[in-house]
Amino acid sequence: MFIVVLGGGVSGLTCGIRLLEAGHTVEVWAREVSPHTTSDVAAAVWYPYRAWPQERVSAWAKRTYTVLASLAHAHPEAGILLVSGVELFRRHVEDPWWRDSVPDFRRARPEELPPGLLEGYHFTAPVIEMPRYLPFLMSRLRALGGTLVRREVRSLDEAWARASLVVNCTGLGARELVGDATLHPVRGEVLRVSPAPTDRFLFDDEHEDGIAYVIPRSGDCILGGTVEEGNGSLTPDPAVARGILARNAPLLPPGAVLNVVEHKVGLRPGRPTVRLEAEVIAGRVVVHDYGHGGAGVTLSWGCAEEVVALVAAHQTQLT
């Protein structure tokens, strides 16, 4: 079956790949491609952050963890590293709902906690270097026979003129494309520093001045961050950068040098729940896959496989 996928970020490319593997013919239409997509700015580490509902997100995240870990071993060129680290807390916490998604979850030992932190979760997570991963996905899409088209789409009718089944992975763009007023930008600023000041990731969501996280990669490290609901500005703020450095410094080894080489802004597609469902309109089908919050990469393969199942379920209506 011929299918048009709208969106050239991680969700659109991943859906395109899984649909091609299922035997479909696929065109991915994208207003922007890497390195100019929202996905390019992602930190990006496996973690089900700001995505709901919990039960569905848990299943998608667990499946994606398995695929990313497999790719890390089989395709070093994909830019996926398996990195151990700690999520930190200033209070007693129960085990998280996602604990069964990672194979080596345990409580952090006292010597693994920076000063002033009371508890933590220790686990290994895939860290995805987006400047390498997105080109890897595009190459895989093309190798499977898929086509990537630079095209801005203002209505589903434009895509339906080409294919009777469309997959909508437009992220924040779905607010205008399908009139989804529940979508909103959740602004995040990050800093890229080089060299990496540590070899483990660290998450601290409970700092009184905002969130802090350290994500080491092969040649650099991402420091974050911010969570600004409804702010759509893409202009970096020097004051925010200073705050990110101040919040992260206590998490790092004493004397760690933070040499900032890049300051980036991205907009997470916030929504009360991920929208992953099929919609039939006048005999034509659109499968929606957007609204992943801060977990687009974390949910990507699990969601893509559900998209393939939804396409199969509705394919007979169009033949």
Annotated binding-site residue? 124: no
pLDDT of residue 33: 80
Annotated binding-site residue? 38: yes
Banded pLDDT at 34 (limits 50, 70, 90): confident
Q: Starting at the edge strand that comes first in sequence, how are the strands of the sheet with 165-168 ordered?
A: 147-150, 25-30, 2-6, 165-168, 284-290, 275-281
Residue 112 has pLDDT above 60, yes or no: yes
Once rounded to an integer, what is the mean pLDDT over residues 33-60?
86
Once rounded to an integer, what is the mean pLDDT over residues 59-67?
98
Give the helix/strand (H/E) hosting 166. strand 165-168
- 212: its two tokens: 């802090």
Residue 14 has pLDDT above 70, yes or no: yes
Annotated binding-site residue? 170: yes
CATH superfamily of 2-318: NAD(P)-binding Rossmann-like Domain (3.40.50.720)
Q: How far separated are the first and last CA of the chain, in Å rounded? A: 9
Quickly count: other Cβ atoms within 10 Å of residue 128's Cβ: 28
Annotated binding-site residue? 91: no
Banded pLDDT at 32 (limits 50, 70, 90): confident
pLDDT of residue 319: 52
Q: Which of 122, 65, 119, 123 is nearest to 94 (CA)?
A: 119
Once rounded to an integer, what is the mean pLDDT over residues 175-188?
97
Helices and strands in the chain: count of H runs, count of E runs:
8, 15
Annotated binding-site residue? 319: no
| Calpha distance 250→303 (Å, rounded) | 37
Give the helix/strand (H/E) hosting 70. helix 54-74
Annotated binding-site residue? 297: yes
- Pairing of β 2-6 and β 165-168: parallel
Annotated binding-site residue? 39: yes
- For residue range 244-258, list pLDDT tens digits in order: 999 999 999 999 999
Annotated binding-site residue? 213: yes
pLDDT of residue 315: 86
Annotated binding-site residue? 230: no
Strand partners, 284: 281
Annotated binding-site residue? 295: yes
- What is the overall mean pLDDT for the chain? 95
Annotated binding-site residue? 227: no
Annotated binding-site residue? 65: no
- The residue extents of the domains of the chain are 2-318
